[in-house]
Structure formats: C-alpha cells, structure tokens
Amino acid sequence: MRSSSQRFMSLALSFMILAVTVAASNMSTAGMDTRLVGHWRNTISQSSINFAKDTHYKFFQDGSFQIYAKGIANGRKYTEGPHSGRWFADGSVLKLTFNGEQIAVRYLIDSQNLRPA
C-alpha cells in the first residue's frame, strides 16, 4: 500500500490540463498568483479499459490547498485524499508543500486552462 505522501505526489504530478470551474482574479501579490485561487479540475478517461478519474485542486486565498480524486476503474469506485498543505506561486512556478515534502511545477494559464509549462 502506498503512503499518503506517495498518493499525494501521484495526485500532484497528475497536474495535466486542468479546466477551471471557478473564475479567478488576474491580480497578483508577492508569492501568490491569485489567478490560481479557485477550484480546478482535471478529468482523465479511457473507455477501452473502463477507467475515469476526476482530480480536484482547490487553491485558497490564505495559501492553503486541498487535492482529492474520485474515479472508477473496472467498475469499482475509489477515492484518493483529501490531501492538504500550503501553496505559493513564484513567477510561473507553483510550489506545493505537503507532509514535509515540496514539489515545484512550472505552469501557465491559457484562457481558462491551467497547464504545465
């Protein structure tokens, strides 16, 4: 069984093309790109193997975040998380800290999509 840190890293690294579900402001403050504040969602599905997964990324104004996923694989429903931690964005780099670990992902926001850069 994977540890909570490994599950979190898996969710965080699934940071693919995310469709925004909450409008975000274009204003920025030091260490926080407020365009990221809101609820972002990434959906992956592959009908050939009966797999679907929705990963939700919630970035809050106070610098906290929550990531969780719900899915179905071979007819069985599952959930991952929620995992919580701290986030900040420096330039075009999003940094997530959880359970003493930190990952950094370069990003860009194109229209209403959050993408790895």
Tell me the one-letter amino acid at 86.
R
Report if pTM > 0.75: no
pLDDT tens-digit readout, 12-27: 555 543 443 333 333 3
pLDDT computed for residue 91 by the predictor: 73
Q: How confident is the model at residue 28 (pLDDT cuts 50, 70, 90)?
A: very low
pLDDT computed for residue 23 by the predictor: 34
Tokens of 81: 């998380």
Cα end-to-end distance, the chain, whole Å: 32
For the chain, which domains are there? 4-116 (2.40.128)
Q: Three-state SS for 20? A: strand
